Structure formats: C-alpha cells, structure tokens
Amino acid sequence: MTLKFIKNGVNFMKIITLATSLCGLSSNHALAASIPAPKEDEQLASQSGSQTIVLAGGCFWGVQAVFQHTKGVTKAISGYAGGSADTAHYEMIGTGKTGHAEVVKVTYDPSKITLGKILKIYFAVAHNPTELNHQGYDVGTQYRSAIFYSNPEQKRISESYINQLNQDKVFSDPIVTTLEALNEFYQAEDYHQDYVKSHPGNPYVARNDLPKIVNLEKEFPELYVK
C-alpha cells in the first residue's frame, strides 16, 4: 500500500515510492536462528547510562524497527556510515559506489542490556549475516552486513562472537559480517525514520520487516517491548 500525502508542497508519495524501489523487493526474511550467547561480553553496568553501536544489515527500515522493540534500547536511528559526508544521501548511496552502508545507530542502557545481547539479536533476527553485499534481492555494498565499532572493546566482543558462531557452525554458511571502524554516522532523511511504524501496510515492510519483529518477540520474549 502506498500512502499519498502532501506536506509543505512536497509530494511524499514520490519519495515513498522511490524509497521502496531503491530498497528493492527482498525475499530474505529474518532467520530467527537459535544461536548461543556470546562467550565474550560486557557486564551489566551498575548504573544507568548510554552506549551506542552502529549496525548494518540490509535495508535499515527493518533493523531500526527490531531495535525499537528491544528492551534496554533507548533510541534507534537510521543512517549511513562508511563513506563521506558529501555522499551521505539516499539517492547517491543507492548507486552502491559511495562506500556507505545503510546502518542503524543503536543507543542502549548498559545497565539493562549488554552489547552481546544486542549482537545476538542482530545476528538472529535483524538480518542474515551470511549474505555477502546483499539481503535477499537488495543487492549492493550499501546492503552489506557490517558492525561499525567505535572503540577496541566493541571490536573485541564483536570479533570474538563472529568467530564463536563460525566455529560452532551455527549457520549453514560462514558469517560475512565485516568489522569497520566508525568514522562518522550520518542520520538518514526524515522520511526513512520510523518507516515500519509509519507504513505497516507497505508491501516491502509487510513481507520483510514485520516478520523480524514477530521473530524478535518469539525468540527473545524477555527482551521484547511493544
């Protein structure tokens, strides 16, 4: 379903249609894989605070929605990382030539959820970490699976968990998630934010993103929030 509305003289039907077209029609649903907890992880903090991790896993609509329903996550923002500021625009990133990936900046309270649990959700239901530079029919390096770390601890925990899952052969194919140092996060355009919540009837969302939320509730009931 495409919603048509005009605000401040802007025809948002064209924007939404363009977004759906660029994100493609993906056949990839959330894996809902039953995976072990990471052996290396943070300890829950004794006091509330704020930490962030930037994750890429295909079209950012669904990844954002998953973490918006995750207990302990205080904010999830769609954006871009991996390229320069002058190319951090949706139409340019859609060419696959900017170096950017569609990402979600996940802000969480370390007294309520650890980085390891966030990564477990990321690998289990947010996307398929075994698909190289695509998610289903969403093809291009902008849809790559990647963890953009901002400090050595994030890199260590992420790298250890990937090695653990690969060694245990949790997935039928090797994990291809890359570890990339975060240079800068660029927030995506307003019409991409909260997209799943705002457009539950969009065919792409209904097919690819809503099942991820269902799987989050099924696989992680203790971490799921409405």
Angle 60-68/210-219 helices, nearest 10 degrees?
40
**pTM over 0.75, yes/no:** yes
SS3 content of the chain, % helix, strand, coil (to 5): 35, 20, 45
Least confident range of 28-37, 46-55, 155-164, 198-207 = 28-37
pLDDT surpasses 80 at 30: no
E strands present in the chain: 6-7, 10-11, 51-57, 73-81, 101-108, 134-135, 138-139, 145-149, 178-181, 186-187
pLDDT surpasses 70 at 34: yes
Domain-wise residue ranges, the chain: 6-219
Q: Quick one: average pLDDT of 118-123?
A: 98
Q: How far apart, in whole angstroms, are the C-alpha atoms of residue 33 and residue 169? A: 12
For residue 31, what pLDDT is reported?
66
Give residue-wise pLDDT tens across range 63-101.
999 999 999 999 999 999 999 999 999 999 999 999 999
pLDDT band per the 50, 70, 90 thresholds, residue 168: very high
Longest dimension (CA), the chain: 55
Q: Which CATH class is domain 6-219?
A: alpha beta
Specify the DSSP element, H or E, that contains 93.
helix 90-93
Q: Quick one: average pLDDT of 125-154?
A: 96
pLDDT surpasses 50 at 29: no
For residue 33, what pLDDT is reported?
67
3 state SS for 106-138: EEECCCCCCHHHHHHHHHHHHCCCCCCCEECCE
DSSP secondary structure code for residue 224 in this structure: B
For residue 9, what pLDDT is reported?
36
pLDDT surpasses 70 at 7: no
Q: How far apart, in whole angstroms, are the C-alpha atoms of residue 175 and residue 132? A: 9
Q: Quick one: average pLDDT of 153-171?
A: 97
Query: Torsion angle, CA of 130/82/114/29, rounded to 10 degrees?
Result: -40
Q: Determine how many CB atoms are found less than 10 A away from the CB of residue 147.
A: 25
Cβ atoms of 27 and 136 closer than 8 Å: yes
pLDDT surpasses 70 at 4: no
Percent of the chain at pLDDT > 90 equals 83
- Residues that are catalytic: 59
Residues near 85 by beta carbon (within 8 Å), at least 6 away in sequence: 184, 186
For residue 32, what pLDDT is reported?
60
